[in-house]
Chains A and B, each alone.
Chain A
């Protein structure tokens, strides 16, 4: 997709692929053929630059044909560079400029629980770790804790990179688990590329109903592509066609052994 679009972000989406595979393939209560289903769980992508992995998860679970993935960032495509909720059924939010997704998620969670009387409907908000630099995230974190939004689950892609370098050099996040706990959240810290651990973490968070939960998912940016893994310079660029061939071969080989 990214090679074809010739612009976009590579490392983040690859690192998050296991998380979205579990969510869209297992945890989310949803009907891809009926995106507006009123009993659905809600997934919001707050770190919108990782849109390619969301599109891939949606296509592979039946929201739209997988062929359409190759239209990413083309004129007229429903697959905008950053998610655009009015462009594609199933997208719940618009994002790109960072930091606003958790507020939307808190609003969703509160409305379905308190006005609709449906605390069983869960709202998931995916965030990047660099995104936590934005103050808006912490405004929402306080709000969700105040109203004990137990049906809100945040997921932080803890990959330790952002555009200008390592997160701990650009703006240190330090004890992230401690920060969220202090803000009143239930915290689960996992290997975000371990399928079983992701499943278990989501189940645990769903059992916590008197406070919001956050999964700190430690992921490998560029996961599965040896030349991209852990390299922050791959945050905002795309592979050449030769590099893309190597990446697809590596991912395919790993997929066959997993």
Chain B
């Protein structure tokens, strides 16, 4: 297993060597985002702007107007919040080909706490006209998406997770914007829809459900915008219940997207939607394993919530105990 941030750094170094218009701008987090790979491997393609995210985006926009192909390197939370005005006016409103690499995306960023956990990014970026919004599931999709974004002539926002997850794709994976992927067929009982690295845990949840006699299909949506709505609706059709799962607020992210599609289609036989993610509230500091359990995103907790959505009574074994560095918390 390889972390997406490492794949991003390695792929970016290749891209800068293939095309000298490709540059990465960093806001003093290169060793975390892994832009350091470019800083060390091809220093001419690396631009350090310091801890100054608004300047970072403005610089990248300027470079894009001069024919360069800039990538941004910092934690996603500093881009979608601190530098949002620059992203909105300079990048989105002009359609500039600036690649926004949101490192340490989502909930799971090593105990830093709610100030650093970006659980609203998909909602914000999905609402941004002209923005392509992507969340790769694993290292292979992260590599394919990075290569696709390098060629795309427009603004792109990409979530890159800090830590590695079990891959769900093969090394020959090819990315097509808008496409949805069935990671697990079947699904007589329920369809699980997920995005980003959470999809890997949802596949695991489906296996746990199978062991409890529940047949679950798993659909992965790497491209929140654009999205092939017909394909997504087709992928969730034919069952009574669909559960979306995301390490993001349940508002206006993947759950919001699926709700919009179902509601607009107006099909009386449409499945009932349950959204799993962060409720309308902030998270906290803790090792990732604890956060996954606390906020219902571990495979076990996802499986539990699916069973509840299907009306199964909770099983006694559903109480999960998580062990992580620093001791055990029930």
Contact = CB atoms under 8 A, between A and B. Distances in A.
Contacts of B28: 130, 133, 162-164, 170-171
Interface residues of B, number: 37
Interface in A85-105: 94-99
A232 to B, nearest CB: 10
Contacts, number: 110
A170 B234 CA distance: 51
A8 B112 CA distance: 7
Given A8-B111, A164-B26, A75 B51 contact: no
Interface in A6-43: 6-8
A210 to B, nearest CB: 31
Contacts of B113: 73, 80-82, 84, 96
Chain A interface main SS type: loop
B286 A134 contact: no
A13 to B, nearest CB: 15
B265 interface: no
A239 to B, nearest CB: 14
B186 to A, nearest CB: 35
Nearest to A73: B111
Contacts of B26: 164
B152 interface: no
Contacts of B285: 73-75, 77, 79-82
A164 B77 contact: no
A135 B52 contact: yes
Contacts of A236: 31-32
A5 interface: yes
Interface in B110-168: 110-116
B48 A75 contact: no
The interface size bin for chain A is 20 to 34
Contact of A75 (B50, B82, B291): B291
A171 B111 contact: no
A131 interface: yes
A170 B28 CA distance: 7
A170 B286 contact: no
A75 B110 CA distance: 12
A4 interface: yes
Interface in A195-213: none
B294 interface: yes
Choose among A6, A79, A84, A164 the residue with the greatest number of B CB atoms under 10 Å from its CB: A164
B326 interface: yes
A96 B49 CA distance: 19
A117 interface: no
Contacts of B36: 164
A82 B50 contact: no
Contacts of B256: none
A164 B78 CA distance: 17
A222 interface: no
Interface of B: 26, 28-32, 36, 39, 48-52, 54-55, 77-78, 81-82, 110-116, 284-287, 290-291, 294, 325-327, 329
Given A75-B286, A133-B50, 16 more contacts: A7-B287, A73-B286, A75-B294, A81-B112, A94-B115, A96-B116, A97-B81, A97-B82, A97-B116, A131-B51, A133-B51, A134-B51, A162-B28, A164-B26, A164-B36, A171-B50
Interface of A: 4-8, 48, 73-77, 79-82, 84, 94-99, 130-131, 133-135, 162-164, 169-171, 236
